[in-house]
Amino acid sequence: MRLSTLQEKVWSCCPKGWKSLSSKCYFISPESRYWNESQKNCSGMQAHLLVINTKEEQDFITQNLNEQFAYFVGLSKPESQRSWQWVDQTPYNESAAFWHTGEPNNPKERCVTINSRKPPSAWGWNDAPCDHPLKSVCEMMKIYL
Ligand code: MMA
Ligand code: CA
């Protein structure tokens, strides 16, 4: 980030309707789409599907989600690959993964969702089919003016 002197304000911003946390902006997409269409929808807005780097980031996002729904995030196992891949090339780190108990559980489920399971409001990850339409979350860097 640019250095600021005592007098100089540094302004950072997110598009209207996006949520702001730290250096990122987040958009909860209410439309249901396949995983690859969800990612295209984000990239059409100069964003990408949500990459979860910390539990704090996940907790901030899930405060704004509806427990009735599952949301695609930017983690998948592409056809040719055996390991999980974040859309922005962040290395997949098992110690910063927040899978529900028993997940991932199905090699045919190659796209990751975040959803709430009982006990009340426990948000976690589930591997799910890529070609079932779901809501999603987009993320982009803030812009510094
Ligand atoms: C669903 C589906 C799976 C998940 C299980 C957990 C029945 O399948 O969401 O991805 O692993 O539920 O019970
Ligand atoms: Ca699963």
How far apart, in whole angstroms, are the C-alpha atoms of residue 41 and residue 33?
A: 9
pLDDT of residue 7: 78
**In the chain, where are the structural domains located?**
19-144
Does the pTM surpass 0.85? The reply is yes
19-144 maps to CATH 1.10.10.10: no
pLDDT of residue 49: 99
- Helices and strands in the chain: count of H runs, count of E runs: 2, 10
- Please report which ligand is nearest the Cα atom of 70: 1
Please check the confidence at residue 107 and state whether its pLDDT lies above 80: yes
Please check the confidence at residue 2 and state whether its pLDDT lies above 80: no
Q: What is the pLDDT of residues 29-69, one digit of tens each?
A: 999 999 999 999 999 999 999 999 999 999 999 999 999 99
Q: Whose CA is nearest to atom 8 of ligand 1?
A: 128
Average pLDDT over residues 111-135: 94
